[in-house]
């Protein structure tokens, strides 16, 4: 527990609607990632789960119970903020122990001088002290227990925030872009630490990020959001291989999926500058389509060998592999195609070929690697895969 | 070149004049304290402080109940400070963190208290205190003073609280800390300089206060220093040197503290005048 | 995250928290400030006397009528307005000059700056005592200096010509340090590069001041003028202790008059009417400040 259910959840600030009729279920023990660009509402959603933001309409259910009006403490959640939100004037030990101390506080303990005395006494109590040190040791913070947050590095502060979340043994972990303030190397390290933590603890994690790499590597399921609306709820593989619409297709994967608007006539596909080729395999109905294929699925060939003639525009050498950006060229006119959002079709190949800019080339693909989208609605059109040849 | 030299000279002369204007009265206070009555009234006051007269000053001051007075002043000032901070931090927190209906009105009301002359509520308070039995009572005096210091404290603390990231408080909410606990354990410790400034302003508002004290306190034993010193005006029994000595003792703590946190005090007073 | 959007979420306890916090201070002010204020307004419509503070019958605007017919009222009003105006002008001028003078470092600056704060830091009563002594006609230092120069002694506090100016001098001595501190803070926000650029362009000190420095410190000057004006309307201790409002009402501001009318003439109703006028005056000043402030902000935005 708990299983989280969102029923028509909406959030508005005055007349400005941030989240509109959100429906989803989060299973127990999942690592669920809310993925989307800035301002898509993912942080707001997380805060509504925590009880930090009010729900405008709709229902939030914890194991079937309506939790809209529950105090955060009643929800048994732990929240890790993007800025860690550590208490600057307290030591690491006091920060980690704070939730435990608060649970032990009586109402009148909060009075000005009383609270200092009560806190000191409670922190020395064997139970709280033991749990604090235990958690600190697990996250390798035991040498830092008496320091203040200001003297810690970003990664260390991150771990203190995690420790403070862990120490209360919550049933639900909420993390709001916890790695976005760290440098790339630290981010990679912390990613695996958080995943390991999830495996160890076995509780539900809801994780907000705009970084699709984090989402793809850590999630059991991803909810992709844009402008307050759900774009797709699926496993990472599903998101990657069967994106529900062009937004998801381009948001996940680097470089993003290539999307070419084409007009279909029979088996012939034509781009806007009259480059055309024949497609083998199943085609969806409809005349205006978007032809989508991932860079690593394209084949980079010499001119004349592939169905799509092209010219190299940019070469990015990444060591073990190379990304080549090409412009599709029309045989007839020699002009170049305007593609969705981008002039270039990207191909990813392994190794380090001696490709030069402006080199003539051609691209090809396999029919089963193509993802089709409706040019008007931008949503994916599912197509039966071509039956494997029986011969 | 000569113009810049002339400008510099002019500037130093100006500064010297300003310093003289500002400092002379205090200097003269000290000088008068260290003078004999005969010098003061007959032969002419000696312009430089005669430190050798210090023991005479001390014995002359024995006739002035300055100890009792300073004690009362201290009590009043402490009471004003504690109550102002207590209520001011509640108001400041509410104004800083909550968006409730009537927020603007509250801000305006607090500002109003800075415009109302004390003399204006002197009489109704007097009448009220008679009924409540708070006349001739140090506590009553504190209650009257706090009305004016509370809003200043509230504005100073509000400005300081505005600069604390709200996420820290949200974190505490998740950690099961009630609002009041957040205020006392997390917010206030983080704005200690502002708390100190508000405390000093409230303390010296109580320290210096004269009008209410002179009106509400009948017993001489309850007199704070302000009233006690004022009682010397027009009477000639007590040697002037003793009076000035007492006045100096009364002034020194105020001067010291104002010098120490002048920056925060100014920030606080100007914050209080800006609405909201 | 906007703080206001997260309320105390616990069912019924929702949205009560702000009121719990604001209630004690507000209740306190209601009892010890606003109720007396209201009572005062009410008293001004009665004929209450000090000897019987809770008795007294309603007389409508009779007190005000009496005031408006009384030449002393107009004297008091004039004195108050003049006092406020002069202290603002002189206090702000002196404070600004002081700030400009010590803005750039020089040897002994911390000491000079500390001494220049004395006027503001010294308690009112102590200040009154020393100024009373300095102004003393027979043995005060000012007259001693005049006498040694062969000039006539001046009745600083007892002549109708001089009393007002003497009070103003003490007030300016008290107020200028505060102005200086505010202006100093504002001066620090003037970017040096702009000033240097103007200097390089050949502008002399005065033009630099007018074009660069002044616009930057104008908001602070406005704010501090408001504060000084309101303080002058409220100021009691100094005036009462130095002149008691005399001679012949030449230093009687509204607040001094309130005390006199209440505790010497025992006319609580009339005193309250004076108080009401004083409050209106102070509110007027504040109103003028906000209007000019908003107008200036609009002008700046262009």
Q: Are A64 and A8 in contact (CB under 8 A)?
A: no
Mutate to test the interface with B, among A53, A71, A112 (most CBs of B within 10 A): A112
Which distant-in-sequence residues (6+ apart) come within 8 Å of B141 by Cβ?
A: B76, B209, B212, B213, B216, B217
CA–CA gap between residue B89 and residue B275 (Å, rounded): 17
pLDDT at C74 over 80: yes
Residues B84-113: pLDDT tens digits? 999 999 999 999 988 877 788 888 888 888
Q: Does the CB of A102 have a partner CB in chain B at under 8 Å?
A: yes
- Chain B contact for A87 (CB, 8 A cutoff): yes
- pLDDT given for residue A270 in this prediction: 82
pLDDT score, position A330? 66
Q: What share of chain C is helix, strand, coil (3-state, %, to 5)?
A: 75, 0, 25
Mean pLDDT comparison of A382-391, B110-119, C27-36, C239-248, highest-scoring range: C27-36
Contact list, C283 vs chain B (CB under 8 Å):
115
User: Which residues partner with A329 through β-bridges?
Assistant: A336
User: Mutual orientation of helices B66-97 and B103-112 as an angle, nearest 10°?
Assistant: 160
Name the pLDDT band for C160 (thresholds 50, 70, 90): confident
Q: How far is B173 from chain C (nearest CA, A)?
A: 9
Report the chain A residue with the minimal C-alpha distance to residue B182: A110
What tens digit of pLDDT does each residue of A182-238 get? 888 888 888 998 999 999 989 999 999 999 899 999 999 999 999 888 899 999 999
Region C108-120: what's the mean pLDDT?
90
Cis peptide before A377 (omega within 30 of 0): no
Closest listed residue to residue A375, CA positions, set A244, A286, A295, A308 = A286
Average pLDDT, chain B: 86
Residue A1 has pLDDT above 70, yes or no: no
Element (H, E) at C292: helix C268-301
Residue C7 sits at the chain A interface (C-beta within 8 Å): yes
Report chain C residues whose CB lies below 8 A from the CB of B22. 115-119, 173, 176-177
Using DSSP bridges, classify how beta strands A360-364 and A299-302 pair: parallel, antiparallel or unpaired: antiparallel
Q: Is B184 on the interface with A (CB under 8 A)?
A: yes
d(CA A116, CA B33): 46
User: Which of B22, B84, B113, B257 is the mutation pick for testing C, counting most C CBs within 10 A?
Assistant: B22
Please give the Cα distance from A193 to A202 (Å, whole number).
14
Q: B-chain residues within 8 Å CB-CB of A83?
A: 165, 167
- Identify the pLDDT of residue C144: 85
**Cα three-residue angle C246-C252-C257, rounded to 5 degrees:** 115
* Domains of chain A: residue spans and CATH: 4-246 (3.40.50.300), 255-374 (2.40.50.140)
**Tokens at A151, concatenated:** 């003297």
Helix (H) or strand (E) holding C110: helix C109-115
**pLDDT at site B92:** 93
**What's the whole-number mean pLDDT along residues A147-175?**
91
Q: What is the structure's pLDDT at B91?
A: 93
Of C2, C5, C9, the CB nearest to A71: C9
User: Domain spans of chain B?
Assistant: 2-61, 66-273
Q: Which residues of B touch C129 (CB under 8 A)?
A: 29, 229, 232-233, 243-244, 247
Structure tokens at C46: 């009665």
DSSP classification of residue A371: E
Cross-chain Cβ contact C11/A54 below 8 Å? no
pLDDT of residue B272: 55
Higher pLDDT, A341 or C261: C261
Mean pLDDT in residue range C157-183? 91
C-contacting residues in B 208-267 (Cβ below 8 Å):
208, 210-211, 215, 225-227, 229-230, 232-233, 240, 243-244, 247-248, 250-251, 254-255, 257-259, 262-263, 266-267
With pLDDT > 90 as the criterion, what percentage of chain C qualifies?
26
Mean pLDDT of C107-129: 91
Cβ contact B189–A111 (<8 Å): no
Residue C187: predicted pLDDT: 84
C4: nearest CA partner in chain A: A53
Selection from A2-16, C77-91, C138-152, C256-270 with the highest mean pLDDT:
C77-91
Which chains have 3 or more CB–CB distances shorter than 8 Å to chain B? A, C
Q: What percent of chain A has pLDDT over 90?
A: 27
User: In this complex, is the C-beta atom of A172 within 8 Å of any C-beta atom belonging to chain B?
Assistant: no
Size of interface B-C (CB pairs under 8 A): 285
**Inter-chain touch C1–A72, beta carbons under 8 Å:** no
Identify which has the larger pLDDT, C16 or A8.
A8
Q: Which residues contact C42 (CB under 8 A, 6 or more apart)?
A: none
Chain centroid offset of residue A218 CA: 9
Residues in chain A within 8 Å Cβ distance of C1: 47, 52-53
Q: What is the average pLDDT value for chain C, to the nearest integer?
A: 83
User: Would you say residue A260 has pLDDT above 60?
Assistant: yes
Q: Best of B83, B97, B163, B175 to disrupt the A interface by mutation (most A CBs within 10 Å)? A: B175
By C-alpha distance, the chain A residue nearest C5 is: A53
Q: Where do the domains of chain C lie?
A: 70-301
User: Which pLDDT band, with edges at 50, 70 and 90, does C12 fall under?
Assistant: very low
Question: d(Cα A243, Cα B156) in Å, to the nearest integer?
Answer: 54
**At A78, is the secondary structure helix, strand, or coil?**
strand
**A50 touching C, CB under 8 A?**
no
What is the pLDDT, as a whole number, of residue B228? 92
For every one of its 276 residues, what pLDDT tens digit does chain B have, with 9 covering 90 and above?
Answer: 567 788 888 888 999 999 999 999 999 898 888 887 777 776 667 777 777 778 878 888 888 888 899 999 999 999 999 999 999 999 999 999 888 777 888 888 888 888 888 888 888 888 889 888 888 889 999 999 999 999 999 999 998 999 899 999 999 999 988 888 899 999 999 998 889 889 988 999 999 999 999 989 988 899 999 999 999 888 877 888 888 889 999 999 999 988 888 777 777 667 655 433
d(C-alpha B69, C-alpha B207), whole Å: 11
Q: Which of B170, B175, B188 sits opposite A102 (nearest CB)?
A: B175
pLDDT of residue A385: 55
Tell the CATH superfamily of the B66-273 domain: MetI-like (1.10.3720.10)
* Residues from chain C contacting residue A53 (CB–CB below 8 Å): 1, 5-6
Domain C70-301 CATH assignment equals 2.60.120.10: no
Section A175-185 average pLDDT:
89
Averaging pLDDT over each range in A317-321, C92-96, C278-282, which range is the top one? Answer: C92-96
Cβ–Cβ contact C10 with A under 8 A: yes
C5/A70 CB distance under 8 A: no
Of the pLDDT bands very low, low, confident and very high (cuts 50, 70, 90), residue C302 is low
Q: Kindly report the nearest CA distance between residue A108 and chain C, in angstroms.
A: 16
Q: Does the distance separating the beta carbons of C10 and A13 come in below 8 Å? A: no
Q: Does B190 contact A88 at a Cβ distance shorter than 8 Å?
A: yes
Contact B171 A103 (CB under 8 A): no
CA distance B176 to chain A (A): 6
Beta carbons within 10 angstroms of residue C103's beta carbon: 16
Chain C partners within 8 Å of A71 (Cβ): 8-10
Residues on chain C touching B113 (C-beta within 8 angstroms): 29, 33
Chain C CB contacts of B263 below 8 Å: 181, 185
Contacts of C258 in chain B (CB under 8 A): 117, 119-120, 122-123
Which chain B residues contact residue A107 at CB under 8 A? 178
Residue C139: the pLDDT is 82
Give the pLDDT score at C203.
64
Q: Which residue has the higher pLDDT, C268 or A147?
A: A147
The answer to whether A168 contacts B175, with C-beta atoms less than 8 Å apart, is: yes
């Amino acid at each position: 527990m708990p299983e989280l259910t969102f029923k028509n959840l909406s959030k508005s600030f005055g007349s400005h609607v941030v989240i509109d009729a959100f429906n989803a279920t989060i299973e127990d023990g999942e690592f669920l990632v809310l993925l989307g660009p800035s301002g898509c509402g993912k942080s707001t959603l997380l805060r509504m789960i925590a009880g930090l933001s009010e729900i405008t309409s709709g229902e939030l259910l914890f194991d079937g119970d309506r939790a809209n009006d529950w105090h955060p403490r009643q929800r048994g959640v732990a929240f890790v903020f993007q800025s860690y939100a550590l208490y600057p004037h307290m030591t690491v030990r006091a920060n980690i122990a704070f939730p435990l101390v608060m649970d032990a506080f009586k109402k009148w303990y909060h009075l000005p001088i009383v609270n200092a005395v009560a806190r000191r006494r409670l922190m020395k109590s064997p139970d709280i002290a033991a749990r604090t040190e235990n958690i600190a040791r697990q996250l390798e913070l035991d040498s830092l227990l008496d320091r203040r947050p200001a003297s810690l590095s970003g990664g260390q502060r991150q771990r203190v925030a995690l420790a403070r979340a862990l120490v209360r043994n919550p049933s639900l972990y909420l993390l709001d872009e916890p790695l976005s303030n760290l440098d790339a190397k630290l981010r990679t390290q912390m990613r695996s630490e958080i995943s390991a933590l999830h495996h160890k603890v076995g509780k539900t994690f809801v994780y907000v990020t705009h970084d699709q790499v984090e989402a793809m590597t850590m999630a059991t399921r991803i909810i992709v959001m844009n402008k307050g609306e759900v774009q797709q709820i699926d496993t990472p593989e599903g998101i990657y291989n069967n994106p529900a619409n062009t937004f998801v297709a381009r948001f996940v994967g680097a470089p993003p999926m290539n999307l070419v608007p084409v007009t279909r006539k029979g088996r012939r596909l034509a781009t806007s500058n009259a480059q055309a080729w024949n497609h083998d395999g199943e085609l969806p109905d409809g005349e205006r389509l978007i032809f989508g294929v991932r860079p690593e699925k394209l084949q980079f060939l010499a001119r004349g060998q592939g169905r799509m003639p092209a010219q190299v525009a940019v070469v990015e050498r990444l060591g073990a592999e190379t990304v080549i950006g090409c412009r599709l060229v029309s045989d007839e006119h020699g002009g170049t195609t305007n593609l969705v959002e981008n002039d270039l079709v990207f191909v990813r190949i392994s190794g380090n070929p001696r490709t030069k800019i402006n080199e003539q080339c051609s691209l090809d693909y396999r029919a089963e690697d193509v993802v089709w989208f409706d040019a008007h609605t931008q949503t994916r059109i599912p197509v039966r895969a071509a039956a494997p040849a029986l011969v | 070149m000569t113009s810049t030299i002339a400008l510099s000279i002019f500037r130093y002369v100006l500064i010297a004049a300003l310093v003289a204007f500002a400092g002379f009265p205090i200097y003269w206070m000290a000088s008068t304290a260290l003078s004999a009555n005969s010098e003061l009234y007959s032969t002419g006051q000696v312009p430089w402080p005669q430190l050798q007269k210090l023991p005479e000053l001390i014995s002359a001051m024995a006739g002035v109940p300055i100890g009792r007075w300073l004690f009362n002043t201290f009590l009043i000032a402490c009471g004003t400070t504690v109550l102002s901070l207590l209520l001011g931090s509640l108001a400041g927190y509410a104004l800083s963190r909550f968006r409730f209906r009537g927020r603007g009105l509250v801000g305006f009301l607090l500002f109003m208290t800075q415009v109302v002359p004390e003399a204006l509520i002197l009489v109704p308070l007097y009448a009220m205190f008679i009924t409540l039995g708070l006349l001739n009572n140090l506590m009553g005096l504190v209650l009257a003073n706090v009305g004016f210091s509370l809003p200043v404290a509230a504005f100073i603390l509000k400005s300081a609280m505005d600069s604390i990231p709200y996420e820290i408080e949200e974190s505490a909410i998740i950690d099961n800390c009630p609002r009041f606990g957040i205020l006392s354990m997390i917010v206030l410790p983080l704005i200690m300089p502002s708390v100190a400034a508000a405390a000093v302003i409230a303390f010296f508002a109580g320290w210096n206060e004269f009008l209410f004290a002179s009106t509400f306190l009948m017993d001489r034993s309850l007199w704070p220093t302000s009233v006690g010193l004022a009682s010397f005006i027009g009477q000639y029994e007590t040697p002037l040197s003793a009076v000035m000595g007492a006045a100096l003792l009364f002034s020194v703590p105020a001067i010291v503290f104002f010098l120490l946190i002048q920056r925060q005090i100014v920030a606080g007073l100007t914050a209080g005048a800006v609405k909201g | 995250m906007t703080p206001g959007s997260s309320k105390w979420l616990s069912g019924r306890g929702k949205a009560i928290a702000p009121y719990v916090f604001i209630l004690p201070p507000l209740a306190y002010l209601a009892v010890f400030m606003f109720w007396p204020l209201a009572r005062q307004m009410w008293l001004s419509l009665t004929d209450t006397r000090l000897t019987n503070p809770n008795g007294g019958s309603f007389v409508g605007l009779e007190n005000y009528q009496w005031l408006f017919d009384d030449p002393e009222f107009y004297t008091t009003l004039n004195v108050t307005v003049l006092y406020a105006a002069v202290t603002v002008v002189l206090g702000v001028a002196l404070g600004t000059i002081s700030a400009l003078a010590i803005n750039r470092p020089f040897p002994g600056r911390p000491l000079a700056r500390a001494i220049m704060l004395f006027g503001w830091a010294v308690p009112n009563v102590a200040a009154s005592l020393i100024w009373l002594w300095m102004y003393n006609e027979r043995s005060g230092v000012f007259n001693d200096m005049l006498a040694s120069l062969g000039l006539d002694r001046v009745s600083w506090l007892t002549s109708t010509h001089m009393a007002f100016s003497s009070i103003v001098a003490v007030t300016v001595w008290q107020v200028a340090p505060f102005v200086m501190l505010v202006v100093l803070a504002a001066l620090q926000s003037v970017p040096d590069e702009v000033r240097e650029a103007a200097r390089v362009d050949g502008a002399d000190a005065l033009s630099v001041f007018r074009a660069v420095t002044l616009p930057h410190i104008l908001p602070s000057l406005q704010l501090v003028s408001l504060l000084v004006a309101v303080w002058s309307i409220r100021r009691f201790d100094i005036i009462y202790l130095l002149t008691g409002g005399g001679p012949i009402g030449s230093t009687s501001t509204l607040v001094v008059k309130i005390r006199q009318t209440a505790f010497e003439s025992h006319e609580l109703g009339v005193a309250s009417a004076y108080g009401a006028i004083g409050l209106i005056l102070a509110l007027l000043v504040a109103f003028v400040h906000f209007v000019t402030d908003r107008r200036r902000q609009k002008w700046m935005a262009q």
